[in-house]
Amino acid sequence: MTLSILPANRLRSVQEYYFSTKLKEIAQMNKEGKDVISLGIGMPDLPPSEATISALAADAQKLNVHGYQSYNGIPELRQAFAQWYQQWYHVPLNPDREILPLMGSKEGILHVSLAFLNPGDAVLVPNPGYPTYASISKLVEAEIVYYDLDERNRWYPDFDALERMDLSRVKLMWVNYPNMPTGAPATELLFDRLIDFGRKHGILICNDNPYSFILNDRPISILSRKNAMEGCLELNSMSKSHNMSGWRIGMLAGNEQFVEWVLRVKSNIDSGMFHALQMAAVEALHNDREWHRKFNIEVYAKRRLIAEKIIKALHCTFDSFQTGMFLWAKIPENYLDARELADEILYQAHVFVTPGFIFGSNGNRYIRISLCSTEEKMQQALDRILLMKRAM
DSSP 8-state secondary structure symbol assigned to residue 238: S
Widest CA span in the chain: 64
Q: Counting beta carbons within 10 angstroms of the beta carbon of residue 322, is it exposed (0 to 12), middle (13 to 18) or buried (19 or more)?
A: buried
- What pLDDT was estimated at residue 2? 62
Residues belonging to the chain: 392
Strand (E) or helix (H) holding 164: helix 159-164
Contact call for residues 332 and 316 (beta carbons, < 8 A): yes
pTM of the full structure: 0.95
- What pLDDT was estimated at residue 174? 98
Dist. CA 86–CA 92, nearest whole Å: 5
Dist. CA 244–CA 284, nearest whole Å: 9
Which parts of the chain sit beneath pLDDT 70? Answer: 1-2
Dist. CA 131–CA 125, nearest whole Å: 9
Q: Which residue, among 237, 182, 245, 192, has the nearest Cα to 212 in the 3D structure?
A: 237
Mean predicted lDDT score pLDDT of the chain: 96
Q: How many helices (H) and strands (E) does the chain have?
A: 14, 12
Dist. CA 268–CA 100, nearest whole Å: 14
- What pLDDT was estimated at residue 228? 98
Which domains can be identified in the chain, with CATH numbers? 15-44+289-391 (3.90.1150.10), 50-284 (3.40.640.10)
- What pLDDT was estimated at residue 1? 57
3-state secondary structure 65-86: CCCCCCCCCCHHHHHHHHHHHH
- What pLDDT was estimated at residue 19? 74
Dist. CA 130–CA 316, nearest whole Å: 22
Residues 301-317 have pLDDT tens digits of 999 999 999 999 999 99
- Pairing mode of beta strands 37-38, 351-352: parallel
Q: Which residue, among 221, 237, 233, has the nearest Cα to 263 in the 3D structure?
A: 233
Dist. CA 189–CA 348, nearest whole Å: 44
- Pairing mode of beta strands 326-330, 250-254: unpaired
